[in-house]
Amino acid sequence: MSRPTNTLTESSTWRLGGELPVHRIGLGAMRLTGTAPFDGGVPRDREQSIAVLRRAVDLGVNHIDTAAFYFSATRSANELINRALAPYSDDLVIATKVWPGRDPSGAWWWATPAQLRGQVEENLRQLGRDHLDVVNLRVPPSRRNGSIAEHFGALADLRDAGLIRHLGVSNVTSAQLAEALDIAPVACVQNPFGIGASSEDRALLEHCGQLGIAFVPFYAIAGSAGDAGAAAEESAEVLAVARAHGASAAQVRLAWTLRQGPHVLAIPGTGDPDHLEQNTAAAELRLSDTESARLTDAARQRPAGG
């Protein structure tokens, strides 16, 4: 039996920036580079990662999230995307992130506003493009309560210069989103979010819906485990819903996330072909109102994102 293609339907789309239609299940590219790309984990098999990217497109994925700082000792996410998918189809949207950077040893550094152009040009070179569809300003943890105006203004200048089509913000507060909107339109907010999210996180998600801004959660599957990936032990409530649907816990978490609003997208990261198939299939998993409320209520006693 041949493998299915285009499992993502037109009914599950959102227009990023009001003009770029993307399916609500995308692909995060971080794990294409290795099992633990930021702490010396085992590199992925290069041909497998390329195959995952091509299979994702076959399944209907047209929203890929990446960054120049997604690399391991021998793999670069942007290079893999270029190798697998160039020349790019007109409907493929590639989003990247700037402000963080990593030197060749893997050590982190944070760009000044003047250095953001170099980071944007680095992504352009690696991806082999003359412009970037979406660039998210990823706010460092140390600046969660600080101003982002100078950095976002520098990105707005690069958009005006034609290097960037749409701007987004990542890891932001509602105040920082408002600050960005005073400077330029914001196409998306990319923040951690999943079952167990705090009331503050939920309020920001709902506010984005009111403004017509896409909300793009990361760690929707991993929750509070973050870069380490999904926790070994899953909650009883998630497992019960998964059994009822003959689905995996990861699929339930993705389905719950998408249920939070039509403006909510998901970018589950994987370098595993089977996980890719499961993640895209989650777009068709329909939770009942009772199941969704049960998951939300049960998680209120747990840490945010768990």
Mind telling me the catalytic residues?
70
* 3 state DSSP class of 133: strand
* 3 state DSSP class of 136: strand
Who's near 296: CB < 8 A, 6+ residues apart? 195, 256
Provide the residue type at 150 as one letter: E
Using alpha carbons, select from 260, 252, 261 the residue that is nearest to residue 281.
252
Burial class (CB in 10 A: 0-12, 13-18, 19+), 300: exposed
* 3 state DSSP class of 169: strand
Who's near 107: CB < 8 A, 6+ residues apart? none
Enumerate the β-bridge partners of residue 13. Answer: 23
- 304: its two tokens: 């945010």
Helix (H) or strand (E) holding 22: strand 20-23
* 3 state DSSP class of 25: strand
Contact 56, 94 (CB under 8 A): no
For residues 198 and 238, give the distance between their C-alpha atoms in angstroms, rounded to a whole number: 18
The verdict on whether omega for the bond into residue 192 sits within 30 degrees of 0, i.e. cis, is no
